[in-house]
Amino acid sequence: MTGRRPFLLGAAAVAAGGALPAAWQRASAAATTPAERWIWAKNHAGEEVATAYRAGDAYHPQAVARLRHLFRDLREEVQGPLPPLLVDILSVLQEQWGYTRPLLVGSGYRTLKTNMSLEGAAPASFHLRGWAADISVKGIRPLDLGLSVWTLSQRFGFMGVGLYPGFVHLDVGPRRAWTRFAS
C-alpha cells in the first residue's frame, strides 16, 4: 500500500516531464490516502484524547496507547486491554454528532479488586477484559444515547447495551440489552 503512491506519482511525473499538475496530484492523493477514523474522549481524571486513531485498516499504535491509558482503571492506576473493535464502535457512535461532543468515559477497564468494590457490578463484567465502557455525552440524554447504541447493536448483531441513570454501558460481547433504574 505504501509503495503504490510513490510509484504512481513517479510514473506521472515522468509522463509529465517532471512537472505534476496540482489538480492531478490532489486527486491522486485523495484516491490513495485511506480514510481516517477519529475519536474524542475524556475520563473522570479530566484527561482528554482527541485523535485520528486509524487510517484505513491500520491502527496508529501511539493513538491506541493513549486511548488505553485514558480507559485505564483510575482507582488502581492499572491499564488493561482495549480492543480496537470497542474504539471503532465508540467512534461510529460519536460520528452521529460529527465529533462535536466528547465521550465521557466513566468506567473503562476495571481490575478485579475495583469491580468487586462496586455495588451492582456483574462479577464477570466485561469491564474486567477491557471490553466495556460506561459512557455519557454532555447535552445528550442517556436514553437517546442508549437508543443509539442499541440501534448499532441491532445493525451489527452483537454488543451489550445497559441503560443506567446518567450513563450507558456498552460492550463488545454478545447482543444483550437491559436497564437499571434503582433510585
Give whichever of 156 and 178 is closer to Zn ion, judged by the CB atom.
178
Q: What is each CA distance from 172 to 105, 125, 135, 149, 163, in whole angstroms?
A: 15, 12, 14, 11, 15
Site residues for Zn ion, window 49-108 (CB under 5 A)?
Answer: none
Listed ranges 2-10, 59-67, 90-98, 167-175: which one lies at the site for Zn ion (CB under 5 A) = 167-175
**Please, what sign has the CA dihedral across residues 126, 128, 132, 134?**
positive
Listed ranges 8-16, 26-34, 97-105, 130-138: which one lies at the site for Zn ion (CB under 5 A) = 130-138
- 169 makes contact with Zn ion (CB under 5 A): yes
Shortest distance (Å) from residue 91 CB to Zn ion: 19
Pairing outcome for strands 58-59 and 103-107: unpaired
Listed ranges 32-40, 82-90, 94-102, 125-133: which one lies at the site for Zn ion (CB under 5 A) = 125-133
Listed ranges 4-12, 85-93, 128-136, 175-183: which one lies at the site for Zn ion (CB under 5 A) = 128-136
Shortest distance (Å) from residue 132 CB to Zn ion: 5
Is there a contact between 53 and 60 (Cβ–Cβ < 8 Å)? yes
Q: Which of 49, 109, 110, 134 binds Zn ion (CB under 5 A)?
A: 134
Residue 76 — φ and ψ, nearest 5°? -105, -5
Shortest distance (Å) from residue 49 CB to Zn ion: 20
Residue 119 — φ and ψ, nearest 5°? -65, 130
Q: What is each CA distance from 104 to 21, 70, 107, in whole angstroms?
A: 45, 10, 9
Is there a contact between 72 and 87 (Cβ–Cβ < 8 Å)? no
Q: Which residues bind Zn ion (CB under 5 A)?
A: 132, 134, 169
